[in-house]
Structure 1
Amino acid sequence: MRCGAALALLCAVALSTACTPKKSERGSAPIEGYNHTSAAINWFTVNGNGGSNFGPHMGGGSQTCCISLPRQWHPGLTVLVEWEKDPKPHDYGSWPERRFSDEWNARVKRHRSSYTRHSAIVEVAPYEELGVLSVHFLPCDQVKVAASLTYRGMPNHPYNYPYKMEVPAVCPKP
C-alpha cells in the first residue's frame, strides 16, 4: 500500500510540474528618462516604445510602459534610442506676441524648425535583475542606458550624473 501511495504522489508531482509554464526569458521594464542637459526632450523612444517628455536638467518620476528585454543581461545587449530636443525651451516665455495670435503661431513654427532629432544604438549597462529602464540624456547628444532595480541617486546605479552637466569645449565623437 505504501508503494502505491508513493507512486501516486510521484505521478501527481510530475503532472503538476509538467503543466507549469516555463518562465519567459524576456521581461517587461518601464521606461524612465533623465535629462542632464539644458535642452528639453520633447519625446523619446527606446526600441520604438515611448518615453515621456521633460524639461532641462530634470527627469525621473515619470515612467511609461514598457520595453521587452532579456531577464538576464548579456554582453553586447543594445537598444535603439531616438529623441527630439528643443535647444531653447525657455524662449516661449519672452515672446512679445499675444499667445495663439497669428504672429505667435508663426513664431512657434519658426521655433519648432530649430528642434533636432537624434538616434543612437546604446549599450545597456550590466544588470543582475531586470528593473526600470533608465535613459540618461547627456551633453553632446550622448545617451546612457541602465535596466536594473536601481535608479538615479542610489549608490549602485551606474549613471549618477548631476542634472546640470557642463557641455565640454569639444564633444567626443560618437
Structure 2
Amino acid sequence: MKVLIIIFAMVVTACSTHPSRDDSVYGASVGIVNHTSKYIHSALANGAGGANMGAWGAGGANVCCVIVPSKWYPGLKVHVRWNMPEGSKDVYKEKIVEVERYEDDDGGSLYIHIFPNDEVRVVVSTYAGWSTKHPIPASKKPAPESSQ
C-alpha cells in the first residue's frame, strides 16, 4: 500500500510540474536612447547602465553589463531608474518595465528608451540605438517652427 501511495505522489508531482525554461543568461552591454528634449544624466536597468545622453540622442551600448536571459519569455521585466536633472537638481524616476520580445539568437545589448511623460521601453538588439535596423527608431530633433 505504501508503494502505491509513493507511486501516486510521484505521478501527481510529475504531471504538475511546468516545462523547464532555458535559464541560460549572458552579460549584455547597456545603451540609452533619448526620445525627449531633456538631458539624461544616467539610466540603469537592474543597476547597470550608462550616463550622459543628450536630448534626442541615441548611442551604442558601451557600458557592461546587465544579466539577460538567452531566451526571451513573457513577463520578462527589468527595474529601470533614470535621472533627468532640472537645472542643477537631480530628478530620479524609476519603474518596472517589460522587456519587448527578442529572438533567441540575437545575443544583443539591452537598450533603455526614454520617452516624454516618463514612458520607458526596453529592447534587446544587436543594432545600436541610432541604427535604422534598431527595433525602435531613434527620434529626430523636431525642426524649429518657422515664424512668419
| TM-score for both structures, normalised by structure 2 | 0.71
In structure 2, the partner of 1:116 is: 91
Secondary structure of 1:125 counterpart = coil
Partner of 2:85: 86
SS at match of 1:38: coil
Greater percentage in helix: 1
- Cα distance, 1:158 vs. partner? 2.4
CA distance in 1, matches of 2:59, 2:130: 10
Relative distance call for 1:62 and 1:133 in structure 2 (3 A) is closer
Q: Which of 150, 155, 160 is the matching residue for 2:127?
A: 150
Q: Runs of 5+ in structure 1 lacking a partner?
A: 1-22, 88-110, 166-174
Deviation readout 1:54-83 (Å, 9 max, x if unpaired): 111112035100111110000110111101
Are positions 1:163 and 2:140 aligned together? yes
Q: CA RMSD in A?
A: 2.3
2:53 alignment partner in structure 1: 54
Residue 45 of structure 1 corresponds to which residue in structure 2? 44
CA-CA distance at 1:161 after TM superposition: 3.9
- Secondary structure at 2:107 match in 1: coil
Please give the residue correspondences for 1:127-146 in structure 2 after superposition, counting only pairs within 5 Å: 127-128=102-103, 129-146=106-123
Measured after TM superposition, the shift of residue 153 of structure 1 is 5.0
Determine helix, strand or coil for the equivalent of 1:140. Answer: helix
TM-score when normalising by structure 1: 0.61
Distance 1:59 1:158 in 2: 13
Seen in structure 2, the aligned counterparts of structure 1 residues 158 and 59 have a Cα distance that, compared at 3 Å, is closer
The CA distance in 2 between the partners of 1:62 and 1:144, in whole Å, is: 15
Using the TM superposition, give the Cα deviation of residue 135 of structure 1 relative to its aligned residue in structure 2, in angstroms: 1.0
Whole-Å separation in 2 of the counterparts to 1:39 and 1:154: 21
Separation in 2 of the partners of 1:82 and 1:122? 10
% identical equivalent positions: 34
The structure-2 alpha-carbon separation of the partners of 1:42 and 1:153, relative to structure 1 and needing over 3 Å to count, comes to: closer
Q: Structure 2: which amino acid aligns with 1:63?
A: N
CA gap 1:156/1:126 in 2 versus in 1, 3 angstroms: farther
Which has more radius of gyration? 1
Give unmatched runs, 5+ long, in structure 2: 1-21, 143-148
8 Å CA contact 1:52, 1:62 repeated in 2: no
Letter in 2 for 1:31: V
**Separation in 1, partners of 2:53, 2:127:** 21
Number of residue pairs aligned between Structure 1 and Structure 2: 120
**What SS is found at the alignment partner of 2:78?**
strand
Is 1:26–1:69's contact at 8 Å kept on the other side of the alignment? yes
